[in-house]
Structures are given as structure tokens and as C-alpha cells.
Structure 1
Amino acid sequence: MPQNFVIIVAAGTGSRIGGNLPKQFLNLDNKPILMHTIEKFENSASKPEIILVLSNLMQDFWDSQCKEFNFTIPHSKTVGGLTRFQSVNSGLEFIKSNYKIDENCKIAVHDAARPLVSSHLIDELFQNCNLAKPAIIPAVKSSNSVRIGNQNDSHAVDRETVWLVQTPQVFMADLLVQAYQQEEESTFTDDASVVEKLSNNVYLIPGDPQNMKITFQEDLVIAQHLFDKSKRYL
């Protein structure tokens, strides 16, 4: 049985990017963003079992996309919920129902719309996750000045203490399963915040500035430029 898993969360609507098609299904470098994302995990040395969480409405569409692009990387599918918390929990329930989880199992959670994640970063996260450090996340330092507050009342903070969090986030399986037994809260913005609620430390490793999340239309242009740049060095 596999010891590594990744839950790729792809059930969102991607409303901020505009259009009728969720962003993870938009084409980047001549194929859907989601296919690039899956390929990065397939090409990693960690070789996690890939669990894809899709909305119920997009299940058949994804199957048709796989046929159209002859996409054959093995992966399992499950149905997501209305929120990210619910979708990750659906992925965890799928793993619990179909695999035996032991103390050595590790589970990553990744945003479908981060296709530029490197296989090197994936492997580094899995390698650094262990029983002593059961929650490992990538993050990059802020290069901008940072203020906390609102438009009428704010104050500056030391940007050296500010980290911009990325995915994948990797956890020992038992810890992540336990964390997702909690009731959902509005403060749960990512999986690290869910685990942290259990009074667990979350450990950071340097992320990758190119591991961007495609959110807006202009992000597609930037991502395509980065793809073109990387191919020049192959």
C-alpha cells in the first residue's frame, strides 16, 4: 500500500478569474492547468497516490478532458464540498475508506491551481515531514512592506516575520485526520490553520517564488511566461 498521498483540491469555481470554466480547467501551455499540477506529483520521487477532489458538476467534464488530451496518469476521484474544508475532508474520507493508514503515512494537500510547483519542492516537503515534525508547509518571505488593519486604522509590522504560505502542505496522516474531525471555522484558511487549532506546531521550509496560485486572468499570462522560460533551459 502507498505511504504517501496527495489530495489535490479542484472543486472550486474559480470565480475571480472570470468566465464559466473553473480556472483549474483552463488551458496553460496547451493543456488544462490541472493536468500540469498532477504531472508534478507523478514526476516526483515521492510518488504519492493522487486523490483528486472535484465538484459533482465537473466529474464528467474532467473525464472528457482526460480522453481529449490522452491523459493517463493514474489518479482517484472523489466529490468535493461547498468549502475547501469540506473538500479536503472528502479526500481524507476517501483515503480512510480505500487504504490502510499507518503511523508512517503522509498526506499532502495541494491547490489545483498551482501548476508551477516543482517536483523538488514536493520531495523536500515529504522528506522533512516526520513524527517529530508532523506538519510541514512551504512559505516565502514577503518582499513588500506589510501593514495590519483596515483602510482607516493600520500599523506596520516587521516584514521579516511575515511569511506567504504556499501548498503543498504535508502532514503525518494521523494528525491531519484528527484535525479534520473538528468543526469547520471561518479562520481555517488552509490545512495548516486546521492542524494548528489542535495546538500543534507548524514547521516552515522555504517555498518557491514561482509556485504561484493562478487566481486572476493576468496570472495565466505570467504562468505561461514561466513555462516558456523553463522550456528554454531544458
Structure 2
Amino acid sequence: MKRYVVIVAGGKGTRMGGDVPKQFLPIGGRPVLMRTLERFHAFDPEMHLVVVLPADQQDYWRALCERYQFDLPHALATGGATRFDSSHHGLALIPDDEAALVAVHDGARPFVSIETIGRCFAKAEEVGGAVPVLPVTDTLRRRTEGEGSETVDRSRYYRVQTPQVFDVRLLKEAYAQPYRPEYTDDASVYEYSGAHQVALVEGNVENIKLTTPFDLLVGEALAHESSAE
């Protein structure tokens, strides 16, 4: 079955404290977004790559590709006002009648493992939709009335990562729905479209989303460790 990945990279980098969007920041000497694309190409060199970027960042990205001699073939889609819109625009580049699987991935997660990608695609091919997760290890408390709170059973909760992988026709049907504030990721859009269930597969702890300056420090360490292997 044909495979696609839509990499959504619309970050402004405001929490990084700089002017360069986080997906373009160098990690281990290479921009984050390039590392992310390379992970999916390493999993499947035949995978079709789609990158979603705001219109005002696309020329900068093309210049980066020239500077770093980055030549992995990929299509560019223009991001929208919301994550929902951006994913929708990326999916629009996939033919409507395509029998395929599509992953939707955060551009700022360059350390997703090949094994995690493989587990997601394998489970999605089996059941239609799959997301990688990690168990919650901290104690969780829920606010009650007033100043009160109570412990909740953390064994029922998971931290969700990307890539989130689906049958492309089912996900396109889901994105035909109007936007709702309840949509927090692609899996929630998929669920709201009907009786579709999303399977959980094991993620990898290194698959962090680079959001803060501290994350960049962790990312540099991970990149150094990877280059030393």
C-alpha cells in the first residue's frame, strides 16, 4: 500500500525567544525540518513527502534547502489559520481516490524513531487509524469545587505523540467536516467523523516536540548521541 506523510510545520517559534521559526532552527548542524523529513525517508524511501508551511516561510525554506544541499523530493502545501486547516491543505495534495495510508506529523519532532513510524503504519493498515503514545508517569490530580482536588487513575491516560497514521480516504472524509474547537489533533478529527476508533501503539521517549529553549538543549544532546552511534 502506498504511503504518504504530511508534515505540518507552521510554528512561529515565539516560545523559543527568537525570530527564526522552530522548524528551521539548527539541531546538530542541520535544520529541524530536514531531520524530520529524513526520518520518514529512512523508514521508507518510496514514501511521498508533503510539507505544510505558511506562505511567508516557503521562500526561506527553499533557500535553506539550497544552502544545505537538501534534495529529498517533497511537495509544499500552504498552511492555514489553524492546525485543522493546515492538515486539510496537506491532505488536498493526495489524490481523492488513492488507496493509501497517510501519516500526519509535527515538523518539530525530528527524533521520532523508525520503529515508532513502523508500528503506526502497521497498526493503521490493520485497523484504519493509529497514534503513538507514552504512559503518564507523574501523579495526576483533578480540580474539584473550590480549592479542592483529587487524584485520578493515571493508568487510563497516555501522552499522545505523532505521527498519527490513517487510511487516507477515511481521514479525508473526516476533514470534510466543519472545524470544531474540540479538535486538538488529527485523531480527534477522525473520531468525530463517526464510529472510527484510534488504536494506541508504543511511542518513543526521544520523540519530543521542540517547543522551548530547554527542548533545544535536549535536542542537541539527542543529535550528538545519534551522530556518535
- If the length of structure 2 is used for normalisation, what is the TM-score? 0.94
1:94 maps to 93
Structure 1 residues 46 and 188: alpha-carbon distance in aligned structure 2, compared to 1, 3 A threshold: farther
AA aligned opposite 2:120: L
1: CA distance, partners of 2:95 / 2:123:
23
1: CA distance, partners of 2:34 / 2:45:
18
Residue 149 of structure 1 deviates from its aligned partner by 3.5
2: CA distance, partners of 1:45 / 1:9:
19
2:172 maps to 177
1:45 maps to 44
1:15 maps to 14
8 Å contact from structure 1 (residues 41, 47) kept in 2: no
1:147 maps to 141
Percentage of pairs with the same residue: 37
User: 1:213 and 2:209 equivalent?
Assistant: yes
1: CA distance, partners of 2:70 / 2:148:
51
2: CA distance, partners of 1:96 / 1:153:
52
1: CA distance, partners of 2:210 / 2:3:
26
User: 1:124 and 2:123 equivalent?
Assistant: no
Point out where structure 2 has 5 or more consecutive residues left out of the alignment: none
Structure 1 residues 50 and 204: alpha-carbon distance in aligned structure 2, compared to 1, 3 A threshold: same
1:191 maps to 186
8 Å contact from structure 2 (residues 123, 199) kept in 1: no
2: CA distance, partners of 1:73 / 1:149:
48
Point out where structure 1 has 5 or more consecutive residues left out of the alignment: none
Residue 153 of structure 1 deviates from its aligned partner by 4.6
AA aligned opposite 1:210: E
1:29 maps to 28
Aligned length: 227
Residue 179 of structure 1 deviates from its aligned partner by 0.6
8 Å contact from structure 1 (residues 46, 126) kept in 2: no
- If the length of structure 1 is used for normalisation, what is the TM-score? 0.92
AA aligned opposite 2:161: Q
Could you give the per-residue CA deviations for residues 118-149 of structure 1, whole angstroms, max 9, x where no partner exists? 1221122112212x511100000011011234
Partner-residue secondary structure (3-state), 1:95: coil
2: CA distance, partners of 1:36 / 1:212:
13
1: CA distance, partners of 2:218 / 2:166:
30
Alignment map for 1:106-117 (pairs within 5 Å): 106-117=101-112
